[in-house]
Amino acid sequence: MIARQGRQPQRTCIACRRTADQNKLVRFVLGPDGTLLVDYRHKLPGRGAYTCLSRECLEKAIEKRQFQRSFQGQAEAASVETLMAGLHEQLLARVESLLGMARKSGQLETGTNTVLDSLKKKGKFAVLILSEDISESIGKKLTTVAARQDVPVFNMLGKNRIGQLLGKSERSAVAIKVGALADAILIELQRLAEMVREN
């Protein structure tokens, strides 16, 4: 489809038939062996089939054999669990990549005390990421301050992994400054949280 200037190309979910901007749907392509592959970033070559970012649509697409129909019978059978795991992996990789970009461009602050102090300045941060293994008392303190400032909070990864991504030792709190990069990170984190809720 040809996109009008300033608009995203539209695609239709093969399960629920809802039409949406291409970047709001998940793209699937066939590997050389007929394996169904998740193409979250829409970069792999070949014909694509699209679904909503929901377990329900994936289940329906598999149950109704919509992938086989879209790929003219060449798609190997795939399980919902396999596709959801592939999608989760790619979403996580996308968030990690965006965090790396935020670090390189100076768009984030790390460390519990630094983040706690900085969070008190209204309008400075768009999102707060806490490690999954943060201590309960520190997590509660940060979450309370973030809530007062209307900053959404997400728990993901361990302290070690967050530290590795940021080129530092363990980190249990990362605050992303307001801006386009923060908006992109927030979208991906919301998608990731939605996926976790569905599983």
- Position 173 scores a pLDDT of 94
Which of 78, 108, 135 is the last residue in one of the domains?
78
List, for residues 129-142, the tens digit of each pLDDT value: 999 999 999 999 99
Query: The pTM is what?
Result: 0.83
- Position 180 scores a pLDDT of 94
- Position 167 scores a pLDDT of 85
Number of domains present in the structure of the chain = 2
Q: Encoding tokens for residue 74?
A: 């060449």
* Residue 176: strand pairing partners: 108, 127
Q: Is there a single domain that holds both residue 139 and residue 66? A: no
In a domain, 87, yes or no: no
Q: Encoding tokens for residue 92?
A: 């996580």
The CATH number of the domain where 151 resides is what? Answer: 3.30.1330.30
Pair 13, 57: CB distance under 8 Å: yes
Q: Is there a single domain that holds both residue 50 and residue 116? A: no
How far, in Å, CA of 74 to CA of 56, rounded?
Answer: 23
pLDDT: which is higher, 44 or 122: 44
- Position 3 scores a pLDDT of 46
Q: Is there a single domain that holds both residue 70 and residue 109? A: no
In a domain, 86, yes or no: no
List, for residues 22-80, the tens digit of each pLDDT value: 989 999 999 998 899 999 999 999 999 999 999 999 999 999 999 999 999 888 888 99
In a domain, 51, yes or no: yes
**Integer angstrom CA distances of residue 135 from 121, 170, 172, 191:** 23, 13, 9, 25
Q: Is the pLDDT of residue 168 over 90?
A: no
The CB density around residue 151, as the number of other CB atoms within 10 Å, is 21
Q: Is there a single domain that holds both residue 113 and residue 42? A: no
- Position 50 scores a pLDDT of 96
Domain that holds residue 50: 10-78
Q: Is the pLDDT of residue 14 over 90?
A: yes
Look-up of token digits 């993901």: 156
Per-residue DSSP letter, 195: H
